[in-house]
Amino acid sequence: MTAKASTWILSAQCESQLGSVDVVTRFLKERRCYITEISSFDDPRAGRFFIRAAFTADDTATFDQAEFETAFSERAAPFAMTFELTPADKRVKTLIMVSKADHCLNDLLYRHRTGQLPLDIKGIVSNHRDLEPLAQWHGLPYYHFPVTPDTKRAQEARIRALIDEVDAELVVLARYMQVLSPELCHRLSGRAINIHHSLLPGFRGAKPYHQAYEKGVKLVGATAHYINDDLDEGPIIAQGVDAVDHAHYPEDLVVKGRDVECLTLARAIGYHIERRVFLHAGRTVILKH
């Protein structure tokens, strides 16, 4: 099947070795593919090389993705290079999970509606009904999966079934206030993004911003990361921060924190869908512009 796309993204990684850049750029030149953006990183400590190239084909009408991948596989084989070829305009099939807080969901739906985030949102999952009217206003399916300690296993089974049903490529935890089981975390490894506040020093439990106010914090922030079975400790994709001072009361900290959470989550999703994120040894490499 011939694919038609104006721009393609080739992302690859391999062990650090001579010629790892050349194997990508020379292949694209021979194919008369014009590189519009390229970035790479070599990690001498890990002995690992990462590269991302955006390019246009000489004749987009006859560009054959399967043939390109087969040919590049042969060229990359001596380097044991793994790679992914993706249309730059691909809309990623996504499920968004929420509880009651609406700020991150509102922001994502706005960016989706205005084309800032090219997502194909397949639905919104929640353990509460509070945000169902927001989903309905956007014309999106809303799945209410209530959960209690006794029903958690069955509720997660419904989530897994829905992920398979809609063929979700990305799951976004936009302030979903439930801890996922290790089994579900492993299943969603590298394709589920969570957002949470980042306050220094760290404050856990109820009302973290009130705790932060009592300690006189000077920075509020947020961290977006891939999930794993360690709560809020998965590979970090993006972080944001904003300054505060003694004049900011707990309610002010909450407002600022929510703004940072929205921006940080959107940035992380953008990196992910643009194929800028590489995972290796529990860390991320982000190849930006």
- Report, as residue numbers or ranges, the catalytic residues: 232
Integer-rounded Cα radius of gyration of the chain: 21
CB burial of 167-179 (b: ≥16 within 10 Å; e: otherwise) equals ebbbbbbbbbebe
Going by their DSSP bridges, the two strands 219-226 and 192-199 should be labelled as antiparallel
Task: Report d(CA 38, CA 28) in Å as an integer.
Answer: 12
* Distance (Å, whole) CA 40 – CA 33: 18
Burial class of residue 272 in the structure, from the number of CB atoms within 10 Å of its CB (0-12 exposed, 13-18 middle, 19+ buried)? buried
- Burial (CB < 10 A; 0-12, 13-18, 19+), residue 228, is buried
CA distance 256 to 242: 7
- How would you classify the pairing of strands 192-199 and 170-173? parallel
DSSP H helices in the chain? 20-30, 65-76, 103-113, 132-137, 152-166, 182-187, 208-215, 250-273
* Half-sphere exposure (Cβ direction) of 247: Cα atoms closer than 13 Å: 1
Helices and strands: H and E segment counts in the chain: 8, 13
For residues 59 and 274, give the distance between their C-alpha atoms in angstroms, rounded to a whole number. 22
Q: Please give the Cα distance from 43 to 285 (Å, whole number).
A: 9
